Amino acid sequence: MIGRKTGVTLMLALVLGSGIAMWVAWHPDSCSRYLRGEPTLPSTQEVEMGGRTVYVPCEQWYPRQTMAMQTACLVEFALIGVLVVFAAGDGVDWWRRRAAR
């Protein structure tokens, strides 16, 4: 049986993950059009990092995002890690209950 902490963590991870996916879908940039196959667009994008301009290849999605989106992605990865730990604990508890019968 799935625990309450596992269920809540799963729901939080799903909500945050779908929010990230919706944000990406609603905010296309020149790299998204380049990756779809428009060869006239540049294969890099200018990104401000620490007061200087850096050219980031379009294949690298994470560095091209805002700091808020990067933070949301890190929180999502942390939630997935916590979810795996909770799910493993639920699996061990289930296995012990099954073995005790």
- How many separate domains does the chain show? 1
Side-chain half-sphere CA neighbours of 27 within 13 A: 11
Average of per-residue pLDDT values in the chain: 92
* Per-residue CA distances from 87 to 84, 98, 101 (Å): 5, 16, 21
* pLDDT-derived band at 33, boundaries 50, 70, 90: confident
CA-based nearest residue to 45, from 35, 55, 36: 55
Q: Any idea what DSSP says for residue 29?
A: -
Q: Can you tell me whether residue 4 is helix, strand or coil? A: helix
Comparing 29 with 94, which gets the higher pLDDT?
Answer: 94
Q: What is the pLDDT of residues 71-99, one digit of tens each?
A: 999 999 999 999 999 999 999 999 999 99
Q: Which domain holds residue 13?
A: 4-100
pLDDT at 38: 83
